[in-house]
Structure 1
Amino acid sequence: MQKLLTKNSKGGIPIRRRKEVTKIEVKKVVENVSKKEIPTSNFQNASQEFLKHCRIKGLSIDTVKFYQKELKQTMRSFAEINVPIGDIRKIKTPHVENFIEYQQSLGRAINTINSRLRAGRTFFNFCLRKGYINSNPYEGVPQLKKRHEVGATFTKRQLKLLLEAPDVTTFVGLRDLAVMLTFAHTGIRLTELTSLRVQDVSFDGKGAINVQHAKNRYARRIPLTKRLKAVLRAYIEERGALDTDSLFITVENQPITGRSIQCRLKHYGQQTGVIKQVKVSPHAFRRTFCRLKVEAGTNIFVLQRLTGHHSLEILRRYVEIYGTDLEKAIEDGFDGL
């Protein structure tokens, strides 16, 4: 085999070239290359990149706002407990555990802390895919355990008081009745209600509302009760033809916001005194709808289709508390005893 030779720069004398470089030199080269290839980022820049990714991915506005809010609060808390947010590679699991203890010391609710843990875990999974970190510091950190309870619901008397409160001789009163009756008779979510358009309401046959902008991205049809059909028909006739196709509008003919609806519900809660027993909110109407349907013996799978729940877990809680099957079953087998 031909030997590799090179000339000495001084005397021109051929010398043997070394076939191997020293291990020390190899290590330096590899380390330098590795440092150049690994991307780095701080918490703020990475979170902005993550939110951009969420928008491009097509996540709902509310979902993007959720991540934006929770990550902002997380970054603020990280800074307060000296977590190295300047380089997210340095954020480790103990930092996340310290973050949980810090949130608890501030008196944050379990749901609030769990929301921030979910947002943080998803964000750092994104950073892991981008190569900003080698492992997710949230991995192995469990959600805080909480009691599985069903929130407060209206009694039929309270619901009746609320629905009788609006002055239907005015446009605002008729609209507010239509809003509350839609909540009460369909169990629809606030964001779903504010996204309804006039063309989403059909009066053919028994009538129905087509929820196009559902939380789980699956459109669904909700049949109208006789009363809701009559009230919506009267409201839409009074609403008239406008430039906007939003179903529920303000007196200025602009789409009504979720915040405005919440304020109107609070107003009627104070007017009727119901708010002293139960917080009058869109979700209280939704919980009440589920409870009344369970008490009426509605099949849980039918109820899931009506409410658009992604899983049966929450609905099972209503069945366990408000189902009438236990009362019927408790006497079985004890005849004559």
Structure 2
Amino acid sequence: METNLFLTQSPNLEIYQTDDLRKWIGIYLHACRSRNLAGGTIEFYGKKLRAFTQFCLENNIANISQISADLIRQFLIALSESRHRPAGVHCYYRSIKTFLKWYERETEPEGWRNPINKVDAPFVPLEPLDPVSIETIKAMLETCKRGKLSDARDKASLLVLLDTGMRLAEFLSLNMDDVDSITGLILIRSGKGRKPRNVYLGDKSCQVLRRYVKERKDYNPALWVSKSGERLTETGLRMMLRRRAAQAGVPVPSPHDFRRAFAIERWRVGVDILTLSKLMGHTSLQVLNRYLKQMGEDLEQAAKQSSPVDRNF
């Protein structure tokens, strides 16, 4: 995150005599750190607010008192027109709302009315989120047969992503000590909101993971490492997915597509939605419902299997 746009030190009394947008966002991020919010959360707020600040400056607005409800609406429209998804636009809205509400509580500005109170949240349609297909994963696994360490790692990575539904950051932060490759238990020490949870591997994934670990010759505690022996990064993982997809001649999946596939595949074999939410680390069923929004064939199969006439006459 580019923090040099904002003041990142604690405020002094002089700052309360100004409503400079950049300075107050810096103070807000400082307050987030004092609350011990997760680094990813602070980076999330900083990135969204930096984009909003740039938009304000481009419109000759540098102070919070100059921000109007219509300006916020224009910013949200600009995001939509630049091909941001509705859910992504909503993330910007939430970040601006959280900041302005905090500023109002912090400074209690006399005569100022918070413009965010007049801006309705952008509508986010409950659209189904497509998972990576099992056929795509099988094709990518077929490219991992050259006998190299990278093949063992990539095969294990693909299977662990599918079998656990982990988030990208959770996957990359795993250490060797977090995994019991015999029982399949994996401890996610710091999930979203810094909440730990357990996930579980099936027997086949355990077997492939043990083979990968056995071939490792380095002493890095990280579970996933690059060719140089360093902890695998997000860039490295995405490059691996692109490379394997190109070799297999299939569309490139994102790491999150495996999470969606995990949810749908578990649900199709009867795992209830509450258990799924716990396995995936969700505090709300809203996102999970987007993962599980049924496709036509699922509805048709469910209707035929549960027909009261067929079952009773």
TM-score of the aligned structures, taking structure 2 as reference length: 0.85
Deviation digits for residues 34-80 of structure 1 (CA, Å, limit 9, x no counterpart): xx996423111111111222223222222222112111111111222
Equivalents in 2 of 1:209, 1:223: separation in Å?
A: 6
Correspondences of 1:230-249 after superposition (within 5 Å): 230-240=207-217, 242=219, 244-249=220-225
Q: In the alignment, is residue 54 of structure 1 matched against residue 25 of structure 2?
A: no
Report deviation, 1:156: 2.4
For the Cα contact (< 8 Å) 2:140–2:248, is it kept in 1? Answer: yes
1:92 is aligned, of 48, 59, 68, to 68
Other structure's SS at 2:118 match: coil
Q: Percent identity over the alignment?
A: 26
The count of corresponding residues between Structure 1 and Structure 2 is 294
Correspondences of 1:277-296 after superposition (within 5 Å): 279-296=252-269
Q: In the alignment, is residue 63 of structure 1 matched against residue 41 of structure 2?
A: yes
Which residue number in structure 2 is paired with residue 197 of structure 1? 175
Which residue number in structure 1 is paired with residue 53 of structure 2? 75
Other structure's SS at 2:186 match: strand
1:216 is aligned, of 193, 214, 220, to 193
Other structure's SS at 1:202 match: coil
Other structure's SS at 1:221 match: strand
Deviation digits for residues 222-252 of structure 1 (CA, Å, limit 9, x no counterpart): 122101111111222222451x311111122
Amino acid at match of 1:231: V
Equivalents in 1 of 2:82, 2:229: separation in Å?
A: 43
Other structure's SS at 2:209 match: helix
For the Cα contact (< 8 Å) 1:39–1:132, is it kept in 2? Answer: no
Amino acid at match of 1:197: N
1:188 is aligned, of 166, 177, 199, to 166
Amino acid at match of 2:289: R
Which residue number in structure 2 is paired with residue 121 of structure 1? 97
Q: In the alignment, is residue 255 of structure 1 matched against residue 231 of structure 2?
A: yes
Other structure's SS at 2:283 match: coil
Other structure's SS at 2:247 match: helix
For the Cα contact (< 8 Å) 1:208–1:222, is it kept in 2? Answer: yes
Which residue number in structure 2 is paired with residue 298 of structure 1? 271
Equivalents in 2 of 1:281, 1:319: separation in Å?
A: 18
5+ residue gaps, structure 1, are 1-35
For the Cα contact (< 8 Å) 1:154–1:288, is it kept in 2? Answer: yes
Report deviation, 1:262: 0.8
Which residue number in structure 1 is paired with residue 156 of structure 2? 178
5+ residue gaps, structure 2, are 1-13
For the Cα contact (< 8 Å) 2:97–2:116, is it kept in 1? Answer: yes
Amino acid at match of 2:195: Y
Correspondences of 1:12-161 after superposition (within 5 Å): 39-82=17-60, 84-85=61-62, 87-131=63-107, 133=109, 134-161=112-139
Amino acid at match of 2:67: I
Change (3 A) 1:167 1:335: closer
1:314 is aligned, of 273, 287, 298, to 287
Which residue number in structure 1 is paired with residue 11 of structure 2? none
Equivalents in 2 of 1:184, 1:309: separation in Å?
A: 17
Which residue number in structure 2 is paired with residue 272 of structure 1? 248
Other structure's SS at 1:209 match: strand
Equivalents in 2 of 1:250, 1:334: separation in Å?
A: 56
1:332 is aligned, of 290, 297, 308, to 308
Other structure's SS at 2:237 match: helix
Deviation digits for residues 291-322 of structure 1 (CA, Å, limit 9, x no counterpart): 11111111111211211122112223444404
For the Cα contact (< 8 Å) 1:93–1:141, is it kept in 2? Answer: yes
Higher helix share: 2
The runs of at least 4 consecutive aligned structure 1 residues that moved more than 3 Å come to: 36-39, 101-109, 132-135, 317-320, 322-327, 333-337
Equivalents in 1 of 2:133, 2:229: separation in Å?
A: 34
Report deviation, 1:273: 1.5
Equivalents in 2 of 1:336, 1:174: separation in Å?
A: 52
Equivalents in 1 of 2:227, 2:243: separation in Å?
A: 17
For the Cα contact (< 8 Å) 2:154–2:240, is it kept in 1? Answer: yes
2:141 is aligned, of 163, 167, 173, to 163
